[in-house]
C-alpha cells in the first residue's frame, strides 16, 4: 500500500510540474537579456545585435543586448552561468569561453553550468597585417618575420580566446616566431595595429579597415575569396590549410543549466528563423561572418566534441595560460 507520505510527495511533484508547464507556456512574458562577454563594437557584439533584433520579432519580446567585458569573457559567462534558469538571461559565446579557456586555466565560471541553445555563425578568419611594415602580401610578411624571429607581435581579444589560439596555430603552420599581445577586446588593438606597435590580428571586425586601406588583409581562411576583399587570396592560395581549425570557430547562444527544454526549443527555433532570412546572411557577411545555424541538440554535441579537440590541441601545442 502506498503511504500518505508518498502520495503527498507525488502530489507536490505533480504540482511543481504543472507550475513549470504554466510558466513555460507563458514564456516569454518579459524582455530577455543577452549578455555579450566582451566590449561593444567587436564581432561578438555585432552578431548578438543582428540576431537579437530578428529573434525579438519572432518571440514577441525584446532581447536586450548587454556588453559585460572582463576576464577574457569570464565576467559575462559567470553572470549567465549563475542566473536563474528561466530563459530570461542568455550568453552570446565564442568557442573560447566554452571549449578553450577552461581547458587552459582556471576560469570564474563553470562551463558545465551552461547549456547550448543554438549555433549562430562562423567567423571568417581574416589575417590582417599592419601597413607600417610595408609588406604587400603574406609571403612578404613571412619573409620579414623569418628575418626578425620573436620581434613581431600578434594581437588577440584576450588569453585563451579563439584569436589567441589562431595566432599560435597560424604562426606554427607558417614556421614563424611571434609574440602574443592580449587585449581586453580586439577593438582596443586597433590603434596599435594602425601605428605598427603590433603587426598582425585575426578578427573579422578589421575587414572595413582593410577595405579602406588602413591595414592589409593578407589572406582569408574560407573556400573562396570574400566578395568584399576580391583581391585577397584564400589560405589555400597562400599555401596554408587550416580547415580543421576553422570549422570549430563559432558564435553561439547559451542558457543557464536547468532551463526548461521547451524554452530552449523556442529560443533555438527563433534563432533558426532568423538564420533563414536572406538579409541575415547579407548582414553577417558585412561583418565577416557566415550563417551557421545548429539546433540546441546538434550544437550541444558540437560543443562537447570541440571541448575534447581543443583540450588535445592545447596539450599538443604546449600552451598553458597562467
Q: DSSP for 225-273?
A: --TT-TTSPBTTTTT---HHHHTT--EEEEEETT--HHHHHHHHHHHHH
Averaged over 186-213, what is the pLDDT? Answer: 91
Three-state DSSP class for residue 158: coil
pLDDT at 21: 56
Q: Which residue has the higher pLDDT, 187 or 270?
A: 270
Lowest mean per-residue pLDDT among 45-59, 95-109, 307-321: 307-321
Q: Cell 592589409 belongs to which residue?
A: 216
| Structural domain containing residue 262 | 30-123+248-317
Instruction: Say if residue 216 is in the same domain as residue 178.
Output: yes
Q: Minimal CA–CA distance to 101: which of 259, 306, 255?
A: 306
| Predicted confidence band of residue 25 (pLDDT cuts 50, 70, 90) | confident
Q: Are residues 224 and 262 in the same domain?
A: no
Based on the fold, state whether residues 159 and 224 are members of the same structural domain. yes
pTM, 2 dp: 0.77
- Does residue 308 sit in helix, strand or coil? helix
User: Would you give the end-to-end CA distance of the chain in angstroms?
Assistant: 60
pLDDT at 16: 44
Number of separate domains in the chain: 2
> pLDDT grade, residue 157 (50/70/90)?
confident
Determine, yes or no, domain membership for 61: yes
**Grid coordinates 518579459 are at which residue?**
30
Contact (Cβ atoms closer than 8 angstroms) between residue 245 and residue 103:
no
Q: 205 vs 46, 66, 95, CA distance in Å?
A: 9, 19, 17
* CATH number of the domain bearing residue 146: 3.40.190.10
> For residues 107 and 77, is the Cβ–Cβ distance under 8 A?
yes
Model confidence at 67, pLDDT cuts 50, 70, 90, reads: very high
Higher pLDDT, 291 or 159: 291
User: Average pLDDT, stretch 129-145?
Assistant: 96
Q: Which of 246, 265, 298 is the last residue before a domain boundary? A: 246
Place of cell 586597433: 190
- Largest Cα span, the chain: 86
What is the domain-level CATH number for residue 43?
3.40.190.150
Residue 246 has pLDDT above 80, yes or no: no
- 142 confidence band (pLDDT: 50, 70, 90): very high
Statement to judge: residues 141 and 174 lie in one domain: yes
Q: In this structure, are 45 and 119 located in the same domain?
A: yes
Residue 11 resides in a domain:
no
The three cell numbers of residue 295 are 539546433
Nearest to 288 by CA among 168, 158, 77, 128: 128
Amino acid at each position: 500500500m502506498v503511504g500518505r507520505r508518498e502520495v503527498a510527495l507525488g502530489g507536490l511533484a505533480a504540482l511543481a510540474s504543472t507550475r513549470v508547464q504554466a510558466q513555460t507556456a507563458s514564456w516569454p512574458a518579459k524582455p530577455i537579456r543577452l549578455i555579450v562577454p566582451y566590449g561593444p563594437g567587436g564581432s561578438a557584439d555585432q552578431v548578438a545585435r543582428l540576431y537579437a533584433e530578428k529573434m525579438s520579432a519572432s518571440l514577441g519580446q525584446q532581447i536586450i543586448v548587454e556588453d559585460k567585458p572582463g576576464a577574457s569573457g569570464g565576467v559575462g559567462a559567470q553572470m549567465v552561468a549563475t542566473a536563474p534558469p528561466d530563459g530570461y538571461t542568455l550568453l552570446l559565446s565564442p568557442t573560447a569561453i566554452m571549449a578553450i579557456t577552461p581547458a587552459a586555466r582556471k576560469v570564474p565560471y563553470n562551463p558545465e553550468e551552461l547549456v547550448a541553445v543554438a549555433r549562430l555563425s562562423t567567423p571568417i578568419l581574416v589575417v590582417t597585417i599592419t601597413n607600417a611594415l610595408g609588406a604587400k602580401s603574406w609571403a612578404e610578411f613571412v619573409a620579414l618575420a623569418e628575418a626578425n624571429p620573436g620581434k613581431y607581435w600578434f594581437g588577440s581579444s584576450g588569453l585563451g580566446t579563439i584569436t589567441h589560439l589562431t595566432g599560435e596555430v597560424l604562426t606554427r603552420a607558417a614556421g614563424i616566431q611571434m609574440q602574443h599581445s592580449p587585449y581586453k577586446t580586439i577593438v582596443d588593438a586597433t590603434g596599435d595595429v594602425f601605428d605598427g606597435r603590433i603587426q598582425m590580428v585575426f578578427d573579422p571586425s578589421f575587414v572595413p579597415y582593410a577595405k579602406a586601406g588602413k591595414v592589409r588583409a593578407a589572406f582569408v581562411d574560407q573556400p573562396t575569396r570574400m566578395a568584399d576583399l576580391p583581391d585577397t587570396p584564400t589560405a589555400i592560395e597562400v599555401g596554408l590549410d587550416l580547415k580543421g581549425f576553422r570549422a570549430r570557430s563559432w558564435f553561439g547562444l547559451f542558457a543557464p543549466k536547468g532551463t526548461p527544454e521547451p524554452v530552449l526549443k523556442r529560443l533555438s527555433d527563433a534563432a533558426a528563423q532568423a538564420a533563414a532570412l536572406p538579409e541575415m546572411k547579407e548582414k553577417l557577411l558585412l561583418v565577416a561572418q557566415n550563417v551557421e545555424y545548429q539546433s540546441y541538440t546538434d550544437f550541444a554535441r558540437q560543443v562537447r566534441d570541440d571541448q575534447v579537440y581543443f583540450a588535445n590541441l592545447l596539450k599538443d601545442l604546449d600552451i598553458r595560460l597562467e
